[in-house]
Amino acid sequence: MQIQYILEVVGTCFFAISGALAANDKAKPDWFGASFIGFITSIGGGSLRDILLGSYPLVWVHDLNFVYAIFIGVVLASIFFKVLIRLRKTFFLFDTVGIAMFTIVGTEKALSLGVNPVIAAIMGMFSAIMGGVIRDVLTNEIPIIFKKEVYATACLCGAIAYLSLGYFGLERNCNFIISALIIIGIRLVAVKMNLSLPKFIKEDK
Closest by Cα among 82, 19, 71, 24 to 45: 19
Write phi, then psi, for 127 (nearest 5 degrees): -55, -40
- Is the pLDDT confidence value at 4 over 80? no
User: Measured in Å, how far apart are the chain's first and last C-alpha atoms?
Assistant: 58
pLDDT band for 3, please (50, 70, 90 cuts).
Answer: low
Can you give the pLDDT at residue 9?
87
